[in-house]
């Protein structure tokens, strides 16, 4: 897509859509935000949206829908079996993801449940670029282990390495050699690797993974939840593909995967999810689990209206003006935070900006959860809800010990076509103020800790009275401003 230049030289992303449906937001006073934090156990998942100003928790199910998606919902064919809406979805999957067999599921992690139940056995090893929280939970539940095989550069926060989501090919070869192909049901590639900052892999890397997989007869499983943006960054960063359309790049990638699964809450700005393949045997292996866990094979627990909007959303993944919006806003956000000295994951990826809490809160030990503390502090002083992506999002090992995360990140998600530029500027302003006052942020401790996926419902509290000191400084600097 051509860059649109401004006469005044400003380098800002220009929205190529207009806003036709709006939702009122509330910016509540800082005292109420403190109460809300206490009520929600200092866990941004447990906040109520009535207290949230800009919801940057996730892009999952929060991307703006297009007029065509909304209108498609009106011709949904409500039938338990054989619905025409499902046929339209299957066509869209074949056109966009190049796979003709489709198993519908109610969301991405439901696909992971079916896949892990079908293919992961006790003691199996799943090599991957990096885990996602729900993926790891399903693999572990079925007795499997994972091997995360990124290059060292991928863990460097301040970097210009364009494909931090690449699998380290030498390490992959070693792991296969050591484990034996028989113990490896598949290699998992996650597009726009979420937990390291929404970082893409390159086509060349996937080609290298494919040739190793072929040599050993191992399948490749692609998590395509953020595939559109990964394809966009390939177009921007991988010389060979600069003149290809997103559609071309999607085909090239999905052709190399034996099984593709996705969260439609992400890739198609709708709800639901799916598992797709061109191999009838693979389809058959999972077929019976869909009616058991999800719903009949032509709806998979998703409403027909959502199935219609998923089909349209998948076609819209081919439109660069739709797909570039979020990464371009993220790039603006990351560049401005970086200019203000705030440590952020670079290069800018997809999904959101990722602030390095380990650095911002270097005075808070990992045992007091710096990323969780930063998420709470930002909400307190701005009403902006981000997500902790650090040690709270990790699970304890089998002996109950903490497994500290490689990175302590505060993720500020930028869902597709939801926020305006002035709202993004507000985030930059408040984050910069918080950075200048970072010494006032203190740690957190658990008061309620679920054993699995503790970050969702866990409850924490501040280790001392740091929230009051932060509020006092906010009042001194902003006066009566919200």
| Active-site residue list | 80, 132-133, 223, 266, 389, 455
Which is nearer to ligand F0G, 125 or 387 (by Cβ)? 387
What φ, ψ does residue 122 adopt, rounded to 5°?
A: -50, 130
User: Does 309 interact with ligand F0G (rule: CB under 6 A)?
Assistant: no
Sign of the C-alpha dihedral, residues 95, 111, 143, 293? negative
**How far is Cα 59 from Cα 104, in angstroms, rounded to an integer?**
21
Closest CA to 138 of 457, 451, 453: 453
Stretch that binds ligand F0G, among 65-73, 103-111, 118-126, 229-237 (CB under 6 A): 103-111
Work out which of 27, 60, 77, 219 binds ligand F0G, going by CB under 6 A: 60
Helices 325-339 & 421-436, crossing angle to 10 degrees?
Answer: 30
Which is nearer to ligand F0G, 193 or 325 (by Cβ)? 193
User: Does 385 interact with ligand F0G (rule: CB under 6 A)?
Assistant: no
For residue 314, how far is the Cα from the chain centroid? 17
Q: Is 453 helix (H, G, I), strand (E, B) or coil?
A: coil
User: Does 268 interact with ligand F0G (rule: CB under 6 A)?
Assistant: no
Residue with structure tokens 């996602």?
Answer: 132
User: Does 263 interact with ligand F0G (rule: CB under 6 A)?
Assistant: yes
Q: How far is the CB of 264 from ligand F0G (least distance, A)?
A: 7
User: Does 251 interact with ligand F0G (rule: CB under 6 A)?
Assistant: no
Stretch that binds ligand F0G, among 78-86, 220-228, 396-404, 426-434 (CB under 6 A): 220-228
Residue with structure tokens 């929205």?
Answer: 15
**How far is Cα 376 from Cα 444, in angstroms, rounded to an integer?**
9
User: Does 194 interact with ligand F0G (rule: CB under 6 A)?
Assistant: yes
Closest CA to 367 of 445, 475, 442: 445
Work out which of 37, 42, 47, 58 binds ligand F0G, going by CB under 6 A: 58
Stretch that binds ligand F0G, among 42-50, 105-113, 174-182, 228-236 (CB under 6 A): 105-113
| Nearest-CB residue for ligand F0G | 108
User: Does 108 interact with ligand F0G (rule: CB under 6 A)?
Assistant: yes
Determine the size of the site formed for ligand F0G (CB under 6 A): 15
**DSSP 8-state assignment for residue 439:** G
Q: How far is the CB of 351 from ligand F0G (least distance, A)?
A: 7
Stretch that binds ligand F0G, among 87-95, 219-227, 231-239, 333-341 (CB under 6 A): 219-227
Q: Kindly report the length of the chain.
A: 482
User: Does 148 interact with ligand F0G (rule: CB under 6 A)?
Assistant: no
User: Does 273 interact with ligand F0G (rule: CB under 6 A)?
Assistant: yes
Which is nearer to ligand F0G, 43 or 194 (by Cβ)? 194
User: Does 265 interact with ligand F0G (rule: CB under 6 A)?
Assistant: yes
Q: Answer whether 343's CB lies under 8 Å from 416's CB.
A: no
Which is nearer to ligand F0G, 54 or 176 (by Cβ)? 54
Q: How far is the CB of 416 from ligand F0G (least distance, A)?
A: 13
For residue 256, how many other CB atoms are within 10 A of its CB?
18
What φ, ψ does residue 153 adopt, rounded to 5°?
A: -60, -30
Using CB atoms within 10 A of its CB, is residue 292 exposed (0-12), middle (13-18) or buried (19+)?
exposed
Return the ∠ at Cα 106 (arms to 91 and 279), rounded to 5°: 45
Q: Answer whether 195's CB lies under 8 Å from 349's CB.
A: no
Q: How far is the CB of 198 from ligand F0G (least distance, A)?
A: 9
How does 419-432 read in b/e, with b if 16+ C-beta sit within 10 Å? beeebbebbbebbb
Stretch that binds ligand F0G, among 75-83, 101-109, 293-301, 370-378 (CB under 6 A): 101-109
User: Does 62 interact with ligand F0G (rule: CB under 6 A)?
Assistant: no
- To the nearest 10°, report the CA torsion of 327, 330, 331, 336: 170
User: Does 164 interact with ligand F0G (rule: CB under 6 A)?
Assistant: no
Residues of this chain that bind ligand F0G (CB under 6 A): 58, 60, 107-109, 132, 134, 190, 194, 223, 225-226, 263, 265, 273
């Amino acid at each position: 897509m051509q860059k649109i230049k401004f006469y005044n030289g400003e380098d800002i992303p220009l929205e190529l859509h207009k806003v036709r449906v709006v939702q009122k937001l509330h910016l509540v006073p800082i005292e109420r935000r403190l109460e809300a934090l206490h009520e929600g156990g200092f866990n941004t998942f447990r906040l109520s949206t009535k207290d949230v100003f800009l919801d940057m928790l996730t892009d999952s199910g929060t991307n703006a829908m297009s007029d065509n998606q909304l209108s498609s919902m009106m011709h949904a064919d409500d039938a338990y079996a054989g619905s025409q809406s499902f046929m339209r979805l299957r066509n869209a999957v074949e056109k966009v993801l190049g796979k003709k067999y489709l198993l519908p599921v109610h969301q991405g992690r439901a696909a992971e449940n079916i896949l892990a139940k079908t293919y992961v056995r006790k003691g199996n090893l799943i090599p991957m670029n990096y885990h996602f929280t729900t993926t790891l939970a399903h693999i572990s539940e079925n007795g499997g282990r994972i091997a995360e095989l990124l290059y060292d550069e991928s863990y460097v926060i301040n970097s210009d390495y364009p494909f931090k989501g690449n699998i380290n090919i030498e390490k992959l070869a070693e792991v296969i050699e050591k484990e034996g192909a028989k113990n490896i049901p598949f290699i998992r590639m996650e597009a726009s690797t979420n937990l390291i900052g929404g970082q893409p892999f390159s086509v060349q890397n996937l080609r290298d993974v494919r040739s190793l997989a072929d040599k050993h007869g191992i399948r490749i499983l692609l998590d395509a939840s953020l595939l559109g943006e990964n394809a966009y960054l390939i177009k921007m960063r991988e010389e060979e593909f600069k003149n290809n359309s997103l559609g071309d790049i999607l085909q090239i990638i999905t052709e190399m995967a034996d099984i593709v699964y996705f969260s439609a809450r992400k890739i198609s700005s709708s709800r639901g999810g799916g598992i797709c393949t061109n191999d009838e045997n693979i389809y058959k292996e999972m077929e019976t689990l869909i009616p058991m866990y999800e719903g009949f094979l032509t709806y998979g627990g998703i409403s027909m209206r959502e199935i219609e909007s998923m089909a349209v959303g998948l076609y819209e993944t081919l439109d660069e003006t739709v797909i570039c919006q979020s990464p371009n806003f993220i790039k603006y956000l990351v560049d401005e935070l970086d200019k203000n000295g705030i440590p952020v994951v670079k290069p800018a990826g997809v999904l959101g900006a990722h602030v390095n809490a380990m650095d911002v809160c270097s005075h808070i030990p990992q045992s007091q959860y710096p990323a969780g503390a930063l998420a709470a502090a930002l909400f307190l002083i701005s009403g902006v809800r981000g997500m902790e992506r650090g040690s709270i999002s990790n699970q304890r090992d089998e002996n109950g010990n903490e497994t500290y995360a490689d990175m302590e990140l505060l993720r500020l998600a930028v869902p597709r076509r939801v926020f305006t530029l002035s709202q993004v500027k507000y985030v930059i302003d408040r984050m910069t103020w918080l950075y200048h006052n970072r010494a006032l942020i203190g740690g957190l401790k658990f008061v309620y800790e679920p054993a699995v996926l503790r970050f969702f419902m866990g409850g924490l509290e501040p280790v001392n009275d740091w929230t009051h000191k932060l509020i006092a400084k906010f009042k001194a600097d902003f006066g009566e401003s919200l």
